[in-house]
Amino acid sequence: MRTVEALLASPVRIVGALTCDLLDRTPRGAALAAQLHARDVDVLRVSEREFLSACDTEQPQGILAVAEQPTWRLDALALGATARLLVLDGLQDPGNVGTLLRTAAALGVDATCVLPGTVDVWNAKVVRAAVGIQFGHPTIECTLEAMAAFLRAHTIPLWGADLGGTSIATLTPPARLALVVGNEGAGLAPTVRAACAERVTLPMAPGAESLNVAVAAGIALFTLRPRA
């Protein structure tokens, strides 16, 4: 329900929705159904059994929506004097990617660039984990070459989150910055690492080897946020 609520609050066009009696069992669900009807969304009512055959969650809430995917482009990004970009390199866990998108949006990141090898950002699990944040947060699939050219054209250095990097606590971030995080197990791809102007790491207590990528990125983005 929360994701469909986010969809309704966004400018994204809703093609249609599938509902069943499960939606009517809470006031929130009934209100959501009323919103769909008020927006003249084409709603198909089916039995609970039919609905369950169409969804991939263990505890569905009685609503599935179909909408047009937003199309975001690098060359259409309007960046100010201060800017932050997040770059995802080869991340495979949908939960991590969804959490990263949600975190980036919450911390004021202007856009997230998704490099080849990363899970589809419109994967249903990603959308649920992000609570539909992609409906409003620019999420751009692009090649490393296209991203590097864009960063050069806009004078934006690329910093890579890497265990062998400089402690993030000792650095002063530039006004414009892109931060790339890598695959959960392998880290940054060699070509991506080579494209980084700086490699940074989070200071950790002795004996701690690493952090979950979404947690690490959240801490790094907060630490590297634009200074007033």
What pLDDT score does 16 carry?
96
What pLDDT score does 228 carry?
62
What pLDDT score does 101 carry?
97
Structure tokens at 3: 């994701």
Q: How do the pLDDT tens digits run along the chain, 228 residues long?
A: 999 999 999 999 999 999 999 999 999 999 999 999 999 999 999 999 999 998 877 788 999 999 999 889 999 999 999 999 999 999 999 999 999 999 999 999 999 999 999 999 999 899 999 999 999 999 999 999 999 999 999 999 999 999 888 999 899 999 999 999 999 888 899 999 999 999 999 988 887 777 899 999 999 999 999 876
What pLDDT score does 207 carry?
78
In terms of DSSP bridges, do strands 63-67 and 14-19 run parallel, antiparallel, or are they unpaired?
antiparallel
CA distances from 182 to 66, 72, 133 (A): 31, 22, 21
Surface-to-core class of residue 170, CB atoms within 10 Å of its CB (0-12 exposed, 13-18 middle, 19+ buried): exposed
Distance CA 8, CA 28 (A): 14
What pLDDT score does 60 carry?
87
Angle ∠(98,103,104) on CA atoms, nearest 5: 100
Chain length of the chain: 228
First vs last C-alpha separation in the chain: 37
Q: What is the pTM of this model?
A: 0.90
Distance CA 179, CA 194 (A): 14
Residue with tokens 């201060």: 82
